[in-house]
A and B are shown apart, each in its own frame.
Chain A
Amino acid sequence: MDNKRGLGFYIHLYKIILTQDLKSKMSYRADFIISTIGMVFTNVSGFITFWILFQNFPSIAGWNYYEMLFLYGFSLLALTPVQCFFDNNWNLRSHIYTGDFIKYCLRPINLFFYYMSEVFDMKGIGQFFFGTGTLYYAWNKLGIPFTLKNLILLIISFISASLFMIALMNLAAATNFWLMGSTFVMIFAFKFKDYARYPVKIFSRVFRFIFTFIIPIAFVAYYPSLFFLKPDEIPPLTYLSPFLGMIFFYISYKVWMKGALSYSGTGS
């Protein structure tokens, strides 16, 4: 037995804890199906909204229907990891309220990892497929070439984009450690996912700055999508997004951990 718990150990453990969660969820199959349909409903309604808008207007700020759909599909994909793997953030309030949170602090593994690994939210899968479909459709209509380079770019930008929303939700959830019952902060933060689907260009300078550097939702779809949609005018921020994503995620992780440890003392 080596002493350091490495990546291999955590991947192995994640698989095991996840399997247990899926096993126990099998007893709620109807809930899973209905929730997945509900998830797809929200995605379809976003789609219909675009469709209705483009029935009336040919383009929005120089972005045509398919480009907007690309952005929408990409944002849905980038929102899947936060939905699937970090959904336990939403239960933080009740874990803290009942005092059950302490149990996560007593195991010889990373606290954040252990807490998040306990819940896998399956309804994100519906969103994943709907997002992929939308992206594929838009990709085809826009005639973007299917090359290996583009595929790799897509995967990198998908991962870095998803980090931003994960980090945002971690920070929002971490407020629970300091404010009792602050689900409303999470609801507040979660709404921003809907704004990620618009090109940030439509906003004024001030809000472009806010949505880029303060609440960085422009990185959830806009900046990464520019790789594919406007390859002639890629701004430096697009190239930086993987690094910014990692930094933002790391900050959110640190804040979350600090909150967790400072809380678990006070709650009885």
Chain B
Amino acid sequence: MTNKKSFTLNKYFSLTKGSIMESLSFRFSMLITVIGNLIYLIVIYYLWKAIYASSSSEVVNGMTFHDTMIYLVLALALFNFMECFIVWSIGRNFQTGQIALELIKPMDYQVFCFFANSGQYLISFFTTFLPTLIIVYLITKGGFALSINLIYFILSVILAIVINFCVDFFVGVICFYTESVWGVNIMKEVVVALLSGASIPLAFFPDRLRTIVNFLPFQAIYNSPLKILIDKSLETKDYITIIGFQIFWVAIMILISRIFWNVSKRIITVNGG
């Protein structure tokens, strides 16, 4: 039995390897992407510098300029790290009819999608996220604590990846009904970027808006792991609460996306791909 299980896993890991190779062949594009991100950082640096310069106090909503920058830089790193093009690949696979072939493969389609993207996750973890994290830590001379919270952080990131993946997968399946991939994808990107706290820290949101956002899964993608990493005032029980919430969302999102997938699968068979 164990043999069989490891064989099953190998099947998925070969997908990981394939997607690593594909990623590496775009090294030049990665260089441009890095420069693009640097320019983005420069822009937001000056923007927030100007914002804080215009403010009467140094601390706004419990965050200094320093805190905000660390938050936004890491949010960007996290965003690049978790960025996957699942909506596109599912949408396009559906439109070309390719998806019918994927269904024949002896794999669960959702798991297949996840592992086919996992190489991307691994690569970007080492090429973007980790270097950014180290650089930020060195520049800020310990602007965030590195201790037991790292373990919680890693756990939290993994949960965030799964939630992010499920959101993407769910939105990808929406494309079965809409014949538009671009429109659906851009809506998802906008909603996630805004409501997850990736473009402005949630601390700046007006109270009522923040209450609503806290009841949505999106803040569990960026805000939760970043909070664990940056906020020095958290205690063990806070960590556990945050992660508990994430686990709750993981369960909900997996459930919802799987149900939605199983319902929508019929469209493929009806359309004949």
Q: Which residues of A contact B29 (CB under 8 A)?
A: 182, 184
- B26, B55, B180, B190: the one contacting A41 at CB < 8 Å is B190
Q: Which residues of B contact A123 (CB under 8 A)?
A: 183
- Measured in the bound complex, the distance between the Cα atoms of B179 and A28 in whole Å is 8
Q: Which residues of B contact A195 (CB under 8 A)?
A: 39, 43
Which bucket holds chain B's interface residue count?
35 or more
The answer to whether residues A57 and B60 also contact, given A41-B186, A198-B43 and a CB cut-off of 8 A, is yes
Please provide the chain A residues from 46 to 74 with a CB less than 8 Å away from any CB of chain B in the complex.
48-49, 52-53, 55-62
Say yes or no for A188: interface residue by CB 8 A criterion: yes
Q: Judging by beta carbons under 8 Å apart, are B182 and A35 in contact?
A: yes
Q: Judging by beta carbons under 8 Å apart, are B54 and A57 in contact?
A: yes
Say yes or no for A238: interface residue by CB 8 A criterion: no
- A39, A59, A185, A198: the one contacting B186 at CB < 8 Å is A39
Nearest Cβ distance between residue B25 and chain A, in whole angstroms? 10
Q: Which residues of B contact A59 (CB under 8 A)?
A: 54
Complex: chain A residue closest to B207, CB-CB: A55
The answer to whether residues A35 and B60 also contact, given A45-B193, A61-B50, A202-B49 and a CB cut-off of 8 A, is no
Please provide the chain B residues from 190 to 204 with a CB less than 8 Å away from any CB of chain A in the complex.
190-191, 193-194, 199-200, 204
The answer to whether residues A202 and B180 also contact, given A41-B190, A42-B190 and a CB cut-off of 8 A, is no
- Measured in the bound complex, the distance between the Cα atoms of B51 and A253 in whole Å is 38
- Measured in the bound complex, the distance between the Cα atoms of B46 and A259 in whole Å is 36
The answer to whether residues A184 and B186 also contact, given A45-B194, A53-B51, A202-B50 and a CB cut-off of 8 A, is no
- Measured in the bound complex, the distance between the Cα atoms of B50 and A59 in whole Å is 9
Say yes or no for B139: interface residue by CB 8 A criterion: no
Say yes or no for A268: interface residue by CB 8 A criterion: no
- Measured in the bound complex, the distance between the Cα atoms of B209 and A258 in whole Å is 52
Q: Which residues of A contact B33 (CB under 8 A)?
A: 184, 188
Nearest Cβ distance between residue A218 and chain B, in whole angstroms? 12
Nearest Cβ distance between residue B66 and chain A, in whole angstroms? 16
Q: Judging by beta carbons under 8 Å apart, are B200 and A49 in contact?
A: yes
- Measured in the bound complex, the distance between the Cα atoms of B200 and A56 in whole Å is 12
Please provide the chain B residues from 32 to 72 with a CB less than 8 Å away from any CB of chain A in the complex.
32-33, 35-36, 39-40, 42-43, 46-47, 49-51, 53-55, 60-61
Q: How many residues of chain A get a CB closer than 8 Å to chain B's CBs? A: 40
Q: Which residues of B contact A182 (CB under 8 A)?
A: 29
Q: Which residues of B contact A204 (CB under 8 A)?
A: 46
Q: Judging by beta carbons under 8 Å apart, are B186 and A38 in contact?
A: yes
Say yes or no for B3: interface residue by CB 8 A criterion: no
Q: Judging by beta carbons under 8 Å apart, are A34 and B194 in contact?
A: no
The answer to whether residues A56 and B61 also contact, given A188-B35, A188-B36, A195-B43 and a CB cut-off of 8 A, is yes
Say yes or no for A36: interface residue by CB 8 A criterion: yes
Say yes or no for A191: interface residue by CB 8 A criterion: yes
Q: Which residues of A contact B186 (CB under 8 A)?
A: 35, 38-39, 41-42
Q: Judging by beta carbons under 8 Å apart, are B32 and A30 in contact?
A: no
- Measured in the bound complex, the distance between the Cα atoms of B55 and A52 in whole Å is 15
- Measured in the bound complex, the distance between the Cα atoms of B63 and A193 in whole Å is 28
Q: Which residues of A contact B42 (CB under 8 A)?
A: 207
Say yes or no for B122: interface residue by CB 8 A criterion: no
Say yes or no for A37: interface residue by CB 8 A criterion: yes
Say yes or no for B206: interface residue by CB 8 A criterion: yes
Nearest Cβ distance between residue B249 and chain A, in whole angstroms? 22
Say yes or no for A100: interface residue by CB 8 A criterion: no
Nearest Cβ distance between residue B205 and chain A, in whole angstroms? 6
Say yes or no for A203: interface residue by CB 8 A criterion: yes
Q: Judging by beta carbons under 8 Å apart, are A49 and B199 in contact?
A: yes
Q: Which residues of B contact A37 (CB under 8 A)?
A: 183, 187
- Measured in the bound complex, the distance between the Cα atoms of B43 and A162 in whole Å is 21
- A39, A179, A191: the one contacting B36 at CB < 8 Å is A191
- B32, B179, B191, B209: the one contacting A31 at CB < 8 Å is B179
Say yes or no for B184: interface residue by CB 8 A criterion: yes
Q: Which residues of B contact A207 (CB under 8 A)?
A: 42, 46
Q: Which residues of A contact B28 (CB under 8 A)?
A: 179
Complex: chain A residue closest to B33, CB-CB: A184
Q: Which residues of A contact B178 (CB under 8 A)?
A: 30-31, 34
- Measured in the bound complex, the distance between the Cα atoms of B185 and A37 in whole Å is 11
Which of B46, B49, B53, B193 has the largest count of A CB atoms less than 10 A from its CB? Answer: B46
Q: Judging by beta carbons under 8 Å apart, are A52 and B60 in contact?
A: no
Q: Judging by beta carbons under 8 Å apart, are B180 and A198 in contact?
A: no
Supply 18 A–B pairs (Cβ within 8 Å), ascending by A.
A28-B179, A30-B180, A34-B180, A35-B183, A37-B183, A38-B185, A39-B186, A42-B186, A45-B190, A53-B51, A55-B204, A57-B54, A60-B47, A61-B53, A123-B183, A185-B32, A188-B33, A188-B35
A45-B194, A56-B60, A61-B54 given. 4 additional CB < 8 A pairs?
A31-B178, A41-B190, A57-B51, A57-B60
